[in-house]
Structure 1
Amino acid sequence: MILRTVFALVVSVIALPAWAEVNIQEVRSDGGFTAWLVEDHSIPFTALELRFRGGAVLDEPGKKGATNLMVGLLEEGAGDLDARGFATATESLAARFSYSVSDDFVSISAEFLTENADQAVALLRDSLVAPRFDEEAVERVRQQVISGITSDQKSPRDLASQALRRLIYGDHPYAQSKDGTLESVSALTRADLVTAHQNALVQDRLYIAAVGDITPDQLSALMDKLFIGLPKSGPALPGPAQLNFPGGAHVENFETPQSVVLFAQPGMDREDPDFFAAYILDLILGGGGFESRLMTEVREKRGLTYGVYSYLVDKASAQLWMGSVASGNDRVGQAIEVIREEWQKLAELGVSETELANAKTYLTGAYPLRFDGNSTIANIMVSMQTDNMPIDYIATRNDKVNAVTLEDVNRVAKRLLDPQALTFVVVGQPKGLMAN
């Protein structure tokens, strides 16, 4: 209890607004692993962020949800410890581990005090290399997943997400939820979980970042302790998704007083030279909260919703420009029309100098505020690696934003915004819109 309290106090004081310059070092281990490191020895605490490329898209045919269930079991017993023993050991060390899965990644976060680093790393290694998949733990976590799937079937937003996936992605693995279905999850065996573990946690698709009280030599040794023993490689990743954007509004009937809408069109790859122009464009269109055009036109002027947003999605095998809105069944059709009109207007007329200047000011001013702690910085650094950004990206990012011109943004608006491809999925009982 005392250690846990000390750890909480340490974490609570790690706020680093003074880190205007984040000095990232590349560290290589004898075992061939590479990590990015930011040293900070002012507090005896280290944050470690791990990311394995692959995620739920690696589920084998008929086994959807296997990777998600497997990841949920990594802290439910490992090595010589069952689920209760693992939890007790973690708490006694005042360590924190978290495990998650998305379509494209398995992510693991670890936080530990310097005085307990060796024991914490040994415990984390067991969870990665030697998870137990005990029957009792498998059934307990399986029921948690099934409960979540059942709950999603009653959520308009989750139903809209599922419908949009099916419509856009066709037969690509993205078309199915990472959680799987009631049928697929119920049928998963321990052998399926072992296979999912061997497929997902592999050395050659691993990205590593560390921030805190750890030296390059210590991090090098830590990597070899943690990861030697994992499979060196896994099965091939799926290729690019063949995207379908038929346009129009596609309705899924669901009894609710308010319809939920997701909309999407083709997006832009993070490595495209015009990405920053597109990013600024999205902020002006719908990513900038109350200052965005969509919020102004749909909420402020017409009162059709409490919120409407847009955002760029860069997945490993697909790039989308998405958005969401919710409105009463009697008004959702009008909200969709206003969104489509703003999409068209921006494509044809572009943005103003004032809008561009305001967007740049916001983006460059808000960026340093992201670096508010060891764990946050580690997460940013591992995302930089998975997005193939240079190691000096943090220092140069605001320069890239400021270099975008009005001509750049308006050229990208014409190139990228496509009102004809803009596709809406509506879950509810909207008046004036027919169900497909």
Structure 2
Amino acid sequence: MSDRNGLRYGLLGLALIVLLGLLGFIADRPNSSATAETAAPPSTPGLESLAELNGNAPGRRRLEIQSWKTTEGTRVLFVAAPELPMFDLRLTFAAGSSQDGDLPGLATLTNAMLNEGVAGKDVTAIAEGFESLGAEFGNGAYRDMAIASLRSLTKPELRTPALELFTQVVGAPDFPEDALARIKNQMLAGFQYQKQNPGRLAGLELFEQLYGQHPYAHPSDGTEASIPGITVDQLRAFHRKAYAAGNLVIALVGDLSRAEAEAIANQVSRALPKGPALPKLPEPAAPKAGVHHIEFPSKQTHLMLAQLGIDRNEPDYAALYIGNQILGGGGFGTRLMDEVREKRGLTYGISSGFTAMQVKGPFMIGLQTRAEMSQGTLALIQDIVRRYLAEGPTRKELEDAKREIAGSFPLSTASNADIVGQLGAIGFYDLPLTYLEDFMTQVQALDVAQVKAAMARHLDPDQFVIVTAGPTVSQQDLPPPTDKPADLPSGVPEH
């Protein structure tokens, strides 16, 4: 339920952007529509070839971000983008599952129910209403936040009714009982499916072991025990509290004047319940390191390693970002991929990453490997991390990572949808308006010693919480490293 639109939040997704060549394009573009995506500016310059760049990073779009607050206390971030006759509007509420309290799944259910009914319209009428206007509604709930979005053409005869319907959906949902029962059944069916998915089981166990009693510990979708008992009255109470105007950041990008942007922001904030921002989450306690195993019949074992990472305002963010790109966040060519896949053929893929959140999010490493080599693979990964933290990156690794980041960075503002995601994150995590430029400047200024020191400050090779999911089988020794592994995986990993 929390990924109903395939939404991947822009700033948190920075670590997933990979340079696929200048002709590459971002595959996961939130809230896209055929009308908006196929439209083109009146004059579009031709693509530059790699030769024409002569080794330099491609130019990137510089954003003129305007910011203000509405009378109701809503923060607004706006970028004028007159190239296309459309706009993207994203509302980011501090209304994720970390606000569930004693009712896991409450935030997800509330968000999922927004467009199930308003006065005089059921879910079908709402969907047809947006479609008839060439507009698109989107929503999703995560641990930190809940999102509602609108993409529309800017013609007043289309924009006005689209915004009117959008503000009804977000500000005055009906929460119909029949829709709640249907969505609960869908979620309960999903829980049954999870029992057959060892990767999902491992992920749930990992967060529980990593966060203990903290609000991040429970799954965003709730549990089999919690979902059936959630009532319409509880959804309404959560909406009044968490979907209040003071608990919101509005991001707006498109073919709008400042006056039009202010009018839209005012219309949205006035339509919401009145109320302040919710209190900041407590910091999580340090977890106890150790290995937790889930027995599961399979030829593969899922390995997940984690420890507490950083919040989104961490001063070391840029150094940790590039340090992790070298360790395991940059796809092929990383330390983990080279040692585990390329030299030994133990997995299709292995990755690592910091998920920076309101308070300390996780640093995680994950992969699947052959069950009979899972213990040796786990020991190998821990040894790779230990050596990397002790030695730091090489100068060549650092310079290669800088070039890759500089080359891929323009894609983070390649479309209005990308920009509105960046604005939402900047506003939600209270980052400087110059964050995007600051980040690139900080990355390019880093040296080997700074990256090594930052990684060592925030990671400890002896403090991993480890979850494995797979069968208990006799273990084999790992193959020695080679340029041509003799036993590469031969098919899709089996569960």
Q: Same fold (TM over 0.5)?
A: yes
Q: Structure 1 pair 108/305, CA: closer, same or farther in 2 (3 Å)? A: same
Give yes or no for contact 1:245–1:265 (8 Å, CA) kept in 2.
no
Higher mean C-alpha displacement, 294-303 vs 41-50: 41-50
Alignment CA distance shift 1:390-1:236 (3 Å): closer
- Asked if 1 retains the 8 angstrom alpha-carbon contact of 2:65 and 2:77, the reply is yes
Distance 1:172 1:217 in 2: 43
Aligned to 2:154: 114
Given that 2:95 and 2:107 are in contact with CA atoms closer than 8 Å, whether structure 1 keeps it comes out as no
Q: Give the deviation of 1:328 after TM superposition.
A: 1.3
Aligned 1:94-113 pairs, distance under 5 A: 94-113=134-153
Measured after TM superposition, the shift of residue 432 of structure 1 is 5.6
Give the deviation of 1:32 after TM superposition. 4.1
Among residues 283, 295, 298, which one is paired with 2:325 in the alignment?
283
Structure 2 residue aligned with 1:3? none
Matched, 1:161 2:217: no
Partner of 1:10: 36
| Aligned equivalents of 2:40, 2:311: Cα separation in 1 | 34
Q: Distance in 2 between matches of 1:13 and 1:285?
A: 40
1:44 to 72, 85, 94: 85
Aligned to 1:231: 274
Q: 1:400 aligns with which of 442, 449, 454?
A: 442
Partners of 1:333 and 1:431 within 8 A in 2: no
Question: Is 1:71 matched with 2:111?
Answer: yes
Paired residues of 1:51 and 1:382 also in contact (CA < 8 A): yes
The aligned residue for residue 26 of structure 1 is 67
- Answering whether residue 361 of structure 2 is matched by residue 335 of structure 1, we say no
Q: Secondary structure at the match of 1:47?
A: strand
Residue 59 of structure 1 corresponds to 100
Contact kept, 8 Å, 2:300 with 2:368, in 1: the verdict is: yes
User: Which amino acid letter does the alignment assign opposite residue 203 of structure 1?
Assistant: A
Cα distance in structure 2, aligned partners of 1:202 and 1:31 = 9
* CA distance 1:313–1:32, shift in 2 (3 Å): closer
How far 1:95 moved relative to its partner? 0.8
User: What TM-score do you get using the length of structure 2 for normalisation?
Assistant: 0.82
Contact in 1 for aligned 2:83/2:255 (Cα 8 Å): yes
* Matched residue SS, 2:226: helix
Contact 1:49–1:109 (CA<8 Å) still a contact in 2?
yes
Q: Report percent identity of matched pairs.
A: 28
1: CA distance, partners of 2:39 / 2:288? 47
Q: 1:303 to 1:66 in 2, by over 3 A?
A: same
Q: CA deviation at 1:143?
A: 1.3
Could you tell me how far apart the structure 2 residues matched to 1:88 and 1:413 are?
50
Runs of at least 5 residues in structure 2 that lack an aligned partner in the other structure: 1-31, 48-58, 476-495
Look up the SS of the partner of 1:273 in the other structure. Answer: coil
Match of 2:357 in 1: 315
Deviations 1:133-160 (A, max 9, x none): 1122111111112122221222111101
In 1, the alpha carbon distance for the partners of 2:249 and 2:274 equals: 15
Deviations 1:83-107 (A, max 9, x none): 1211111111111111110111011
Structure 2 matches for 1:81-230, cutoff 5 A? 81-115=121-155, 116-228=158-270, 229-230=272-273
Say whether the 8 Å CA contact 2:104–2:222 is kept in structure 1: yes
Cα-Cα RMSD: 2.0
CA, structure 1 residues 281+431, in 2 after alignment: closer, same or farther (shift >3 Å)?
A: farther
Cα distance in 2 for partners of 1:185, 1:7 equals: 32
Greater CA drift, 232-241 or 173-182: 232-241
Alignment of 1:373-384 (within 5 A): 373-384=415-426
- Does the C-alpha gap of structure 1 residues 32 and 78 become closer, same or farther in structure 2, counting only changes over 3 Å? same
Distance 1:33 1:172 in 2: 27
3-state SS, counterpart of residue 139 of structure 2: strand
- 1:389 maps to 431
Task: Determine which structure has the larger helix proportion and give its number.
Answer: 1
